[in-house]
């Protein structure tokens, strides 16, 4: 199974073109378009999303991740990270730093040595990463010319990121705080507002805000039958903190 | 074939996560994302859409339907409805009441006895309904621990719903009126305006509104080369009626 | 592999319904939703997009293309174009005129003789073109009752179209100019503004506009880390020209 995590957007041909390249090498290989709307130019948020949302997929899943790093993209190089029996393919090891931190003794990182005969300047997802993802999914990794390489950048720390990393279509605002329900604080502060913990949506008065542990283990701010992001003017990157 | 009908939206990971659970149990099983934008908190509209849009799919299709019922969700329980050789899986039998009414002597309803070892509070589509849908598609229904159960709620009646149930991206406004072309009225009233019947778009003057029988047998209000919903301020839930 | 190029939009059931018809005839056949947002009522732009974006797909790919032609749709008839080892199915030969012009000695055009027993007025993509696409993909073209037919309309000329044909979600604006990088002009004029050529995004100052050859060989106007369409008020159909 190949899982796509990108900032390509749903409109336009880009997801289809990348999937086409996958099918051209392995017609009908299972492909899932998990995220097409990871925040652009925000490798930090993307790295926490990739770590949280890859957990539920089975071993041997290949995550094909392409997010525009914005300024300074020249310092990144194509990598494969193998962690916990899964593969992560994409531009630069920083994107997978949370995955690596979560699997400290159980990951390997490789530089991709293979280069396509035709490599566009702007669509490495299609030209470079898609073929590598197929080879990994088919067990033909030798074709990708992988060489073990150490991390070249300082990984993000600590494991919890006290920022908003994604806002979904309901206006629910995910943080990078990944916890067991037992170790959660009772109150979360964001933009001067305090939110209390609820077990789930139906425990909250309709229209009122709260936080809860979402179905992927991330602390998330929500409003029962309402749009938290609009109501409280929340944006990716906003800081959050526990309060007493 | 498994067909998804949800209010999850296209953005974000939810459709991908549910598909991932399907593929984890049956890699590459055909999955179609039919509706990701059924109106939320509107089980009535959803039940008419499910009935109208499931008809064209072949026998043995499994419809995996998840729509947030809003207030009072505690009275629903996980069901499978078997009607006309097709399966409908989802939260609560009210969601399938129009399907059942359309197949009065030819349906069975089951309570899902199986429970996953890990059931999140907020994502039963992934944790509970997706595995059941796969088992039904694979002919392994015994794994879902189905028990025949009577309807627990009063089904919607009559068979025609004189309301708008969906507005598509063109601004075409579908009603819950499902008819043969012979039994259609000549004029439809909505929000004080009267629309005349046309056979198809090209019969109408560009820019003018009309109603017609859409390709799924629902009465639909449209504008030739225009946006009916914007032009006439139409919303899901608006009442319609025949006039002389 | 069947590739969908339509103006159906991502919302609503239409892509799913057409895919359902494909799967009903060939469960699990690889289907790619390449474009769901080709400009409506703009066969000219669509014909250039189809030509540019079909190139990268392998032989035997079937392109199922449905775009509303708007006024005068009565003069079109269902066709299959076979060009360069690929198939193009859709309403009217004008839609494929750029494909044909690009493959002058290497294409055949057929009228589709087959008609479904149930043909809706408004959804030929599902009822007529989808079954034909499956037959072509499965090598059962005799079922489509194809008859060789000459072009019935004057094809678009010249091969380069000096107009905007698509604006993507980043605000990048594609033209219909398809060139080798060597034969590009140095300056492009649009709406009174002049854009200079860049090799790729990172060569441009953030926030400044430029043009480049995109990964499908089309001249495209973009802004590094910005939205060209919003910044310069660009729309599909705007004229462009080379300047000295």
Residues of A in contact with C37 (CB under 8 A): 11-12
- Token look-up 């109150």 returns A187
C83-94 average pLDDT score: 92
Q: pLDDT tens across A48-66, in order?
A: 999 999 999 999 999 999 9
- Token pair for residue A46? 């993307």
Percent of chain A with pLDDT over 70: 95
Q: pLDDT tens across B142-154, in order?
A: 999 999 998 777 6
Q: Is the pLDDT of residue B105 over 70?
A: yes
- The confidence score (pLDDT) of residue B73 equals 58
Contact between residue A234 and residue A191 where contact means Cβ atoms under 8 Å apart: yes
CA pair distance C179, A86, nearest whole angstrom:
41
CA pair distance B44, B29, nearest whole angstrom:
30
* 3-state SS string for B60-93: CCEEEEECCCCCCHHHCCEEEEEECCEEEEEECH
Residue A237 near chain C (CB below 8 Å): no
* 3-state SS string for chain A: CEEEEECCCCCCCHHHHHHHHHHHHCCCCCEEEEECCCCCCCHHHHHHHHHHHHCCCCCCCEEEEECCCCCCHHHCCEEEEEECCEEEEEECHHHHHHHHHHCCCCEEEEEECCCCCCCCCCCHHHHHHHHHHHHHHHCCHHHHCEEECCCCCCCCCCCCEEEEEEECCCCCEEEEEECCHHHCCCEEEECCEEEEECCCHHHCCCCCEEEEECCCCEEEEEECCECHHHHHCCCCCCEEEEEC
Q: Which of B202, B226, B209 is nearest to C72 (CA)?
A: B202
- Token look-up 């778009």 returns B201
Residues of A in contact with C199 (CB under 8 A): 121
User: Which residues lie below 8 Å from residue B57, measured CB to CB, with a gap of 6+?
Assistant: B1, B3, B63, B86, C20, C24
Of residues A183 and A228, the one with the higher pLDDT is A228
Q: Is the pLDDT of residue B158 over 90?
A: no
Residue C30 near chain B (CB below 8 Å): no
Which chains does chain A touch, 3 or more C-beta pairs < 8 A?
Answer: B, C
User: Which residues lie below 8 Å from residue C32, measured CB to CB, with a gap of 6+?
Assistant: A16, A19, A20, A23, C1, C2, C3, C4
Q: Is the pLDDT of residue B205 over 80?
A: yes
- Sign for the pseudo-dihedral over CA of A85, A91, A93, A94: negative
- Token pair for residue B176? 């819950």
- The confidence score (pLDDT) of residue B72 equals 58
Grouping H, G, I as helix, E, B as strand and the rest as coil, residue C81 is strand
Query: What's the DSSP call for residue B3?
Result: E
Which chains does chain C touch, 3 or more C-beta pairs < 8 A?
Answer: A, B
Q: Is the pLDDT of residue C75 over 70?
A: no
Task: Give the mean pLDDT of chain B.
Answer: 91
Question: Where are the extended beta strands (E) located within C36-192?
Answer: 62-66, 78-83, 86-91, 107-112, 146-148, 161-167, 173-178, 187-190
Distance of CA C241 to the CA centre of its chain: 22
Domain ranges of chain C: 2-148, 161-243
Percent of chain B with pLDDT over 70: 95
Q: Which of residues 67-96 of C touch B (CB under 8 A)?
A: 70-71, 73-74
State the virtual CA torsion across B232, B236, B238, B241 in degrees, nearest 10.
90
What's the order of all strands across the beta sheet hosting C218-223? Answer: C161-167, C173-178, C218-223, C209-213
- The confidence score (pLDDT) of residue B77 equals 85
B124 phi and psi, to 5 degrees?
-70, -25
Q: Which stretch of DSSP H or E encloses residue C5?
A: strand C2-6
C110-134 average pLDDT score: 94
A104-121 average pLDDT score: 91
Percent of chain B with pLDDT over 90: 73
Which one of A12, A74, A126 has the shortest CB-CB distance to C37?
A12
- The confidence score (pLDDT) of residue A156 equals 67
Of residues C97 and C152, the one with the higher pLDDT is C97
CA pair distance C197, C209, nearest whole angstrom:
10
Residue A127 near chain C (CB below 8 Å): yes
Q: Is the pLDDT of residue C16 over 90?
A: yes
C136-143 average pLDDT score: 97
- The confidence score (pLDDT) of residue A67 equals 92
Grouping H, G, I as helix, E, B as strand and the rest as coil, residue B131 is helix
- The confidence score (pLDDT) of residue C71 equals 60
- Across A48-81, b (16+ Cβ under 10 Å) vs e yields bbbbbbbebbeeebbbbbbbbbeeeeeebebbbb
- The confidence score (pLDDT) of residue B74 equals 58
C102 phi-psi bin (left φ>0, alpha ψ -120 to 50, beta other): alpha
Range with lowest mean pLDDT among A129-133, A213-217, B39-43, B74-78: B74-78
Range with lowest mean pLDDT among C36-40, C107-111, C139-143, C176-180: C176-180
Closest-CA residue of C relative to A28 is C30
- The confidence score (pLDDT) of residue C158 equals 65
CATH label, B2-148, candidates 3.40.50.10790, 3.10.310.30, 3.30.420.40, 2.30.110.10: 3.40.50.10790
- The confidence score (pLDDT) of residue B2 equals 98
Of residues C108 and A156, the one with the higher pLDDT is C108
State the virtual CA torsion across A7, A11, A17, A23 in degrees, nearest 10.
90
Q: Is the pLDDT of residue A163 over 80?
A: yes
Residue C127 near chain B (CB below 8 Å): yes
Q: Does domain A161-243 have CATH number 2.40.30.90?
A: yes
* 3-state SS string for B187-207: EEEECCEEEEECCCHHHCCCC
- Token pair for residue C53? 């974006």
Contact between residue C235 and residue C164 where contact means Cβ atoms under 8 Å apart: yes
Residue C162 near chain A (CB below 8 Å): no
What's the order of all strands across the beta sheet hosting A218-223? Answer: A161-167, A173-178, A218-223, A209-213
What's the order of all strands across the beta sheet hosting B209-213? Answer: B161-167, B173-178, B218-223, B209-213
C47-56 average pLDDT score: 96
CA pair distance B64, B90, nearest whole angstrom:
6
Q: How many helices (H) and strands (E) does chain B have?
A: 6, 14
- Token pair for residue B155? 């089904």
Is C23's CB within 8 Å of B29's CB?
no
Distance of CA A93 to the CA centre of its chain: 13
Q: Which of C236, C241, C207 is nearest to C224 (CA)?
A: C207
Residues of B in contact with C10 (CB under 8 A): 10, 169
Residue B126 near chain A (CB below 8 Å): yes
Same topology for domains C2-148 and C161-243, yes or no? no
Residue A30 near chain C (CB below 8 Å): no
């Amino acid at each position: 199974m190949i899982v796509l995590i990108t900032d390509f957007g749903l409109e336009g041909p880009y997801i289809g073109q990348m999937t086409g390249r996958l099918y051209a090498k392995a017609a009908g290989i299972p492909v899932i378009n998990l995220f097409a709307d990871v925040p652009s130019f925000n490798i930090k948020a993307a790295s926490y999303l990739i770590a949280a949302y890859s957990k539920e997929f089975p071993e041997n899943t290949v995550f094909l991740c392409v997010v525009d790093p914005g300024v300074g993209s020249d310092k990144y190089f194509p990598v494969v990270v193998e962690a916990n029996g899964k593969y992560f393919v994409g531009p630069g090891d920083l994107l997978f730093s949370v995955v690596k931190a979560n699997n400290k003794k159980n990951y390997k990182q490789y530089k991709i040595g293979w280069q396509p005969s035709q490599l566009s300047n702007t669509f490495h997802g299609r030209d470079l990463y898609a073929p590598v993802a197929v080879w990994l999914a088919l067990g033909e990794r030798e074709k990708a010319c992988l060489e073990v390489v150490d991390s070249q950048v300082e990984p993000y720390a600590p494991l919890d990121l006290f920022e908003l990393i994604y806002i979904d279509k309901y206006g629910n605002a995910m943080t990078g705080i990944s916890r067991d329900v037992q170790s959660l604080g009772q109150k979360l502060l964001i933009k001067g507002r305090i939110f209390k913990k609820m077990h789930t949506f139906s425990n909250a008065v309709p229209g009122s805000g709260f936080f809860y542990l979402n179905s992927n283990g991330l602390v998330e701010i929500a409003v029962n039958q309402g749009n938290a992001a609009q109501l409280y003017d929340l944006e990716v990157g906003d800081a959050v903190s526990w309060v007493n």
